[in-house]
Structure 1
């Protein structure tokens, strides 16, 4: 799908230049700048964190043996942050108070109801150590003062190349090949979709267009989570690239309007013949040469139809022939 970058980038740049009276402005500054991650932002996840390890929380301690200052969490965090003032900090009284949790924790207490996995790398990757519900313990030698992210695991946590999704059930995660980093990240599937959509659709477009885009992005990722046989040169399995070879995934790029579209359509699925649709899309009616009509959607076309009052389901059925929305 190497054509995909041509779909929308040029159009966004044109919009930016037009809006600013023809002044040349970089696409990134107009379309993608100044956005906080909905998954890993300390500000967004800080509610309820009070420096007390309450029931239902997962807590890091600055020192071994559950001593020193602690930092409490109620959910997964993809990147604990390395610098003040944007990192998650140790909050309670004691040694280490105010320091960033990332790469500074020595022990944990898991008071949540799920197994929690602590990772060496951000994005839930690299070496890890699991702590069952109720467990206290020290981080092992690979992770002590080298912790970057943690994840609350479902009871059926996919491992290796496996996915827990089906054509009727969303996968909980997707394997994303980070091309510039040369690594594979297992990303929560909803986090993935929310951090793709603003890079493939213009976030200021009408709601129906964004909803249609959310369905296409989700369906494309869902399809490859079920069907990919891709592997890196080193033999790691992955489902999608983070680039225009698949869909553009940028951690931390989620926006309010596009995330709302993902939430609004999350319970819906798009199938053809009972199978999840591999939903292609591109910028205009001339940018997708070689794709069969009925298998792809025009992004700008979705915008225009939304402006004309079309619903997102009508837009999808216009572009993708023979689909069932349920």
Structure 2
């Protein structure tokens, strides 16, 4: 369903619970992107040797964006403040518990350089001022049709049927959500509406990652299509406003009777394909409620009956 085309197809919504940040005694929680390199974050510096303005991240990012106001910028004080991170970083500090791989190209591609947990270092000659994405590396990813998610833990990846390309891509789950939300919600809408949309997009994808038995005409397993039959996924389309909404709500889980909720959302404010009240959310309605001062939890409770938000 693509709101810009006003397609009123349904989307099952499921909301996910995310594992919280590990707390290390004596140090602070990882903060939002605030230009300070906190524990649990991966940080770029504008200058070599961890000098100049800082841009801090708490997760993988497949494309930083190239123009303001939608790029990921250097936020800390010092040289480079306000510039976009893409192709402008010289050094890093990895304060996460995972190895972080910095890539030359977007979408985790091209030449790369790894930084171990706790490492400080300068980007090498290939990557200095040529950084386009970074990935927090974990264990071995799922293969084939397998998912590693549950009703309480989101999958690490999702199988996306790239319909026009005739292939299936396994996409990092959070990267998928960040590259769907700006194509389903209007990025300039109030934060509470974007937050409600982030929960819905994540939930829909999570549900199908757990339950899909679908296959392409060629016999490949997939969880979701990349078009309006499911959710519109466009690689490298993530924007700062919508990605921030995904980050803000990533630890939220919406359930009914203890299970991930299967629900619907669509553009119209008056009807959604004949679906029963209490099981679908209006995208434009979420905008109006947010403009009236409602937070995203209130918006979700307004549309989905008998839910629990953890």
Cα distance change on mapping 1:181 and 1:44 into 2, 3 Å: farther
Partner of 1:290: 274
Cα distance change on mapping 1:110 and 1:201 into 2, 3 Å: closer
- Structure number, greater radius of gyration: 1
Q: Aligned match of 2:239 in 255, 260, 265?
A: 255
- Aligned to 2:186, what secondary structure does the other structure show? coil
The answer to whether the aligner puts 1:203 opposite 2:187 as a matched pair is yes
* Structure 1, unpaired ranges of 5+: 12-36, 57-72, 82-86, 89-100, 114-148
Question: Counterparts of 1:1-326 in structure 2 under 5 Å?
Answer: 4-5=1-2, 7-10=3-6, 38-41=61-64, 44=85, 46=87, 74-75=100-101, 77=103, 80=105, 102=110, 112=116, 153-326=137-310
Cα offsets for 1:104-126 (capped at 9, x unmatched): x7xx886757xxxxxxxxxxxxx
Shift of residue 232 of structure 1? 1.2
Partner of 2:12: none
TM-score under structure 2 length normalisation: 0.63
* Structure 2, unpaired ranges of 5+: 8-59, 66-83, 118-132
TM-score under structure 1 length normalisation: 0.60
Greater share of residues in helix: 1
The whole-number CA distance in structure 2 between the counterparts of 1:153 and 1:110 is: 9
CA RMSD, aligned part only?
3.3
Cα offsets for 1:236-281 (capped at 9, x unmatched): 1111000001001111111111111111001111111111112311
Q: Which moved more, 1:272-281 or 1:244-253?
A: 272-281
| Count of aligned pairs between the two proteins | 222
